[in-house]
Amino acid sequence: MSGTADIGLIGLAVMGQNLILNMADHGFKVVAYNRSIEKVHHFIANEAKGKSIIGAESIPDLISKLKSPRRVMLLVKAGSAVDSFIDQLVPHMSKGDIIIDGGNSEYADTQRRTDELQKKGIRFVGSGVSGGEEGARYGPSLMPGGNKEAWPFIKNIFQGISAKADGQPCCDWVGSDGAGHFVKMVHNGIEYGDMQLIGEIYDLMLALGINQEEMANTFDEWNKGELDSFLIEITRDILRFKDEKGEYLLPKIRDSAGQKGTGKWTAISALNYGVPVTLIGEAVFSRCLSSLKAERITASRRLPKPSPFELSIDKNTFLENLRQALYASKIVSYAQGFMLLREAAAVHKWDLDYGSIALMWRGGCIIRSVFLGQIKIAFDKDPNLSSLLLAPFFIDAITKAQKGWRNVVSTAINMGVPTPALSTALAFFDGYRSERLPANLLQAQRDYFGAHTYELLGQEGKFVHTNWTGKGGKVSASTYDV
């Protein structure tokens, strides 16, 4: 016999609790369950008191309290914990019931789970959830994918609780099997890139002797224009924050960054699909380099520094150059992310709506940014757009920012301030706009030492081998792309 609740949620960490409260605020009745029953009791007696939220003592109790088709959302640690709860849920569920994984699961796991559960008559959804604790409570960005038959039964809940941008929900169906979690993975990769870019701008400001209050004021101004975004906003707030001693907290934080894996997954996927997502890769490696704190301390005392450098332009002009460099590099970051989405969609036959994805990211998520609206416009005008860099708006934006961008990168090199993300963004841009690259020499080298063959201009598709030394034979290796 079916119960009365609209949805059940397993996992009462802060994200889970906040999402449940959000659902209740929007008129949905929710069943809360956690492996630790004491946590359920505490939540029901405190944060959930007086709301349309009930607790469950066990998995069977949870299932018994849900309307049919039963909808259960998991917000637990990615990996084996998700599979464990699925195994516990399935024996108590009926054909047509729905399991939703709202964690940061690897998209290949979501593909596998969708297929396995479909064979058992269970509809599985893997949904990206972005926005952190505040987003979960007041409106996240949601990116559901998986078994599309589940969408009509969760659409009103998901779009009801999601953030809104220009009155539109930051949530829509993404695509089949692992599409939702793949889009969330790319979102997180862009997040890595954005954070690294902002960190490099901060580092250059430090090198120029700009004080924190001036930095904060600069980010505040930037947040009123083209760079209006969540990460610029919180950077301003972090720069202004003082501890109980009345001292700025930021300089006291150890400069060794952690990561949970989604940025790394994005970089690995880029390599697997042969897409040059270089900026996100550099952002991941920069975190790895930051973790070598002890080695960096030793190296700072033993390795030579560059010669003293004096800025040839005034500070305010250079601050404008920094803004331009950050803006142009962010455009490259998003362009690379959408290139990866395009390639994965072709491989997995996902019918991704790139304009819709941009809209999903306009509110409630970490990478929400004012120019996401321009990304939607670009793909609405040309759904087959090969790169955002070729859209008129972004061509114009980079044309205006290019001089300042180049000045920042060259100045950073002369000052000895590391800017891996800013630099690789510019290198990618220069490579992408180049009709000719030195890969012809690479092909000749590969053929010289490994007989890997090459194509001649005007004879594309025909692979030939040259006996470069006169000592080799006529036998060549098979051709391959990567």
Provide the pLDDT for residue 177. Answer: 95
Number of Cβ atoms within 10 Å of the Cβ of 75: 22
Is pLDDT above 70 for 357? Answer: yes
Which listed residue (106, 191, 226, 282) is catalytic?
Answer: 191
Question: What's the pLDDT score for residue 481?
Answer: 57
Q: Is 184 a catalytic residue?
A: yes
- Give the whole-angstrom CA distance, residue 445 versus residue 429: 25
Q: Is 16 annotated as a binding residue?
A: yes
Q: Which of 114-118, 174-178, 467-471 shows the lowest per-residue confidence on average (mean pLDDT)?
A: 467-471
Residue 477: what pLDDT? 60
pLDDT (tens digit per residue) in 95-149: 999 999 999 999 999 999 999 999 999 999 999 999 889 999 999 999 999 999 9
Check the annotation: does 406 bind a ligand: no
Q: Is the pLDDT of residue 476 over 90?
A: no
Establish whether 36 is an annotated binding residue: yes
CA distance linking residue 201 with residue 330, whole number of Å: 12
Q: Is 444 annotated as a binding residue?
A: no
Q: What is the mean pLDDT of the chain?
A: 94
Q: Residue 274 — left, alpha, or beta (φ > 0 → left; ψ -120 to 50 → alpha)? A: left
Annotation says 455 is catalytic: no
pTM for this prediction:
0.92
Is 80 exceeded by the pLDDT of residue 479? no
Q: What is the mean pLDDT of residues 165-170?
A: 90
**Rounded to whole angstroms, how far apart are CA atoms 142 and 154?**
12
Phi (first) and psi of residue 384, to 5 degrees: -100, 15
Sign of the torsion angle spanned by Cα atoms 255, 260, 263, 264: positive
> pLDDT-based confidence at 308, cuts 50/70/90?
confident
| Per-residue model confidence (pLDDT) at position 472 | 64
Instruction: Look at 44-53, 79-88, 261-270, 459-468 and tell me which has the smallest mean pLDDT.
Output: 261-270
Find out whether 401 is annotated in a ligand binding site: no
Long-range CB pairs of 371-378, under 8 A, 24+ apart, other chains included:
371/226, 371/330, 371/331, 371/334, 375/334, 375/338
User: Which residue from 353, 189, 198 is spatially nearest to 277, judged by alpha carbons?
Assistant: 189
To the question of whether residue 321 is assigned a binding role by annotation, the answer is no
pLDDT at 437 over 80: yes
Q: Is 452 annotated as a binding residue?
A: yes
Percent of the chain with pLDDT over 70: 97
Q: Which residues pair with 171 in a beta bridge?
A: 142
For residue 15, say whether it is annotated as part of any ligand binding site.
Answer: yes
The total number of residues written for the chain in this structure: 482
Residue 236, annotated ligand binder?
no
Residue 328 counted as an annotated binding residue: no
> Is 188 annotated as a binding-site member?
yes
CB atoms within 10 A of CB 134: 11
The contacts of residue 291 (CB under 8 Å, 6+ apart) are: 256, 257, 258
| Cβ neighbours, 10 Å, residue 400 | 14
Q: Are strands 98-101 and 71-74 parallel, antiparallel or unpaired?
A: parallel
Q: Is 50 annotated as a binding residue?
A: no
Tens of pLDDT, residue by residue over 6-50, are 999 999 999 999 999 999 999 999 999 999 999 999 999 999 999
Spatial neighbors of 262 by CB under 8 A, at least 6 apart, are 104, 184, 185, 188, 189, 192
The pLDDT score that the predictor gives to residue 3 is: 87
Please state, in angstroms and rounded to a whole number, the distance separating the CA atoms of residues 428 and 243.
Answer: 40
287 is in an annotated binding site: yes
**Mean pLDDT computed over 195-220:** 96
The reply, when asked if residue 391 is annotated as ligand binding, is no
Angle formed at CA 260 by CA 254 and CA 265, multiple of 5 degrees: 130
Q: What is the pLDDT of residues 79-94, one digit of tens each?
A: 999 999 999 999 999 9
Catalytic residue among 29, 39, 65, 184: 184
In whole angstroms, give the CA distance from residue 96 to residue 120: 9
pLDDT class for 176, splitting at 50, 70, 90? Answer: very high
Instruction: Give me the pLDDT at residue 257, please.
Output: 87
| 331 close to 397: Cβ distance less than 8 angstroms | yes
Residues 6+ apart with CB under 8 A from 81: none
Q: Are 147 and 125 in contact (CB under 8 A)?
A: yes
Within 8 A by CB and 6+ apart from 12, the residues are 20, 32, 33, 34, 36, 39, 40, 43
